[in-house]
Amino acid sequence: GAGVSQSPSNKVTEKGKDVELRCDPISGHTALYWYRQSLGQGLEFLIYFQGNSAPDKSGLPSDRFSAERTGGSVSTLTIQRTQQEDSAVYLCASSPTRRVETQYFGPGTRLLVL
Amino acid sequence: SQQGEEDPQALSIQEGENATMNCSYKTSINNLQWYRQNSGRGLVHLILIRSNEREKHSGRLRVTLDTSKKSSSLLITASRAADTASYFCATEGGYNQGGKLIFGQGTELSVKP
C-alpha cells in the first residue's frame, strides 16, 4: 500500500513568511509524529497526535510552530514568520497505534529560509 | 534535546568488511530502534530491541543492548556498497512518553566497492 507522503518536497521561502507543510499518513494509522532534522544532525521530535487525544506539543521550539490534524488523518505543520534557523528537513511519521513502536517515515520536506 | 550519542560519526570501510556503530543514551527506555537514512530523506526502520532483550538478529544485522551501560551497538556483517547510508539509533521512553522517539546524531557509513 501507499506509504507516508509529504508535500511539498522542497520549499524555499523568505524570512518572515509563513509556510505550511503537509503530511498524509498511511491509511488507518492513528498515531502521527513530526520531527525536524537540521543539516548533519539527528531528528528532533516536534509534536505527536494520537487519535482524538490532545496532541503532545512538548517538542515545538517556539510559538511560531503549530500543527493540526484534521479528521484523524492529514496533518499540517505551520511555521509563522519563518527564520533562517528554521531551515531543515521536516519529517512526518505514522504508526498503526501508540502500542506499535515502529514508525513509518515520509520522504520529508526540505525547507530553506532565505 | 537529543538523548543519544553515536560513534563513530563517520565510518568508511571496504565491501565485505563488518561495520560496527555504537549508541549511548541517558534515560530509561522501553525499547531502542535503529533506522537507516539515505540521502538525508526518509528513514527506514531496521530493527527494534526491547529493554529486556540483550541481542537481536535480522539478516546481516546484529543489535546488542546493555541497559546497565545505557548503550547499544549495531553490527552489519559482510557490508555492501548499498549499505552506504546514515544510521540512527532512537529510544522510546515508554507508554507514558507517547511513543515519541529520541534520536542520536547518527553515524555516516560509507562502504567502498
List phi, psi (to 5°) of A84.
-60, -30
Query: Is A43–B101 a contact, with Cβ atoms under 8 angstroms apart?
Result: yes
Query: Is B45–A95 a contact, with Cβ atoms under 8 angstroms apart?
Result: no
**How distant, in Å, are the alpha carbons of B52, B88, B113 from that of A112?**
42, 23, 34
pLDDT in tens, A55-107: 989 999 999 999 999 887 999 999 999 999 999 999 999 998 766 678 899 99
Say if B93 is an interface residue toward chain A (CB within 8 Å): no
Please name the residues between 44 and 83 in chain B that touch chain A, using a CB distance below 8 Å: 44-45, 48
The whole-chain average pLDDT of chain B stands at: 89
Query: Is B101–A98 a contact, with Cβ atoms under 8 angstroms apart?
Result: no
B1 pLDDT band, cuts 50/70/90, is very low
d(CA A30, CA A18): 28
Cβ distance A74 to A24 under 8 Å? yes
Q: Count CB atoms within 10 A of the CB of residue A112.
A: 13
Q: Give the pLDDT of residue A91.
A: 96
Rg (CA), chain B: 13
**CATH no. of A5-104:** 2.60.40.10
Nearest chain A residue to B36, by CA:
A105
Contacts of A107 in chain B (CB under 8 A): 41-42
Query: Is A48–B92 a contact, with Cβ atoms under 8 angstroms apart?
Result: no
Contacts of A41 in chain B (CB under 8 A): 2, 105-106
- Report how many domains make up chain B: 1
Query: Is B99–A91 a contact, with Cβ atoms under 8 angstroms apart?
Result: no
CATH of residue B57's domain is 2.60.40.10
Question: What average pLDDT does range B23-41 have in this prediction?
Answer: 88
Share of chain A above pLDDT 90, in %: 73
